[in-house]
Amino acid sequence: MKYILPSVTVIDPRSSHNGQTVDIAVEDGAIVAIDANLEAAGATPIEGARGRLISPGWIDGRARCGEPGNEERETYASLSQAASHGGFTHVVLMPSTFPVRDSRPHIEALESATEALATSFLPVGAISKDMAGVQLAEMADMYAAGALSFSDDQHSIDQAHLLQLALQYTSDLEVVIQSKAHEPGICPLGQAHEGAQALSQGLAPIPVLAETLRIQRDLAILNYAGGRLHIAGVSSAEGVEMIRKAKSQGLSVTSDVCIANLVGTDRDIQGFDTRYKTLPPLRSESDQDALWAGFMDGTIDTVVSDHQPMDEESKNCEWGLATFGAATIEHAFGWYRHKNSSHEGLERWIEAVCHTNREIYQLGACVVRVGMPADLTVFAIDGSAEGLKTRGVNVPQWTQNGRAIGTILGDRLSGF
- Eight-class DSSP state of 146: T
Report the alpha-carbon distance of residue 26 to residue 172 in Å, rounded: 38
How many residues would you count in the chain? 416
Cβ distance 104 to 98 under 8 Å?
A: no
Q: Quote the CA–CA distance of 94 and 100 in Å, as a whole number.
A: 9
18: left (phi over 0), alpha (psi -120 to 50) or beta: beta
Q: Taking Cα atoms as reference points, which of 281, 166, 272 lies closest to residue 234?
A: 281
Type of residue found at 322 = A
Cα distance between residue 9 and residue 136, in whole Å: 47
Q: CB under 8 Å to 147, separation ≥6 — which residues?
A: 107, 123, 124, 125, 139, 175
**Of these residues, 153, 256, 287, 306, which one is catalytic?**
306
Q: Contact 237/278 with Cβ under 8 angstroms?
A: no
All residues at 6 or more sequence positions from 293 whose CB lies less than 8 Å from its CB, including other chains: 240
- Does 152 qualify as catalytic in the annotation? no
> How far from 228 is each of 149, 170, 295, CA to CA, in Å?
10, 8, 20
- Residue 101, phi-psi category: left (phi > 0), alpha (psi -120 to 50), beta (remainder): beta
What are the Cα distances from residue 90, in Å, to 81, 82, 306? 12, 12, 14
Tell me the catalytic residues.
Answer: 306
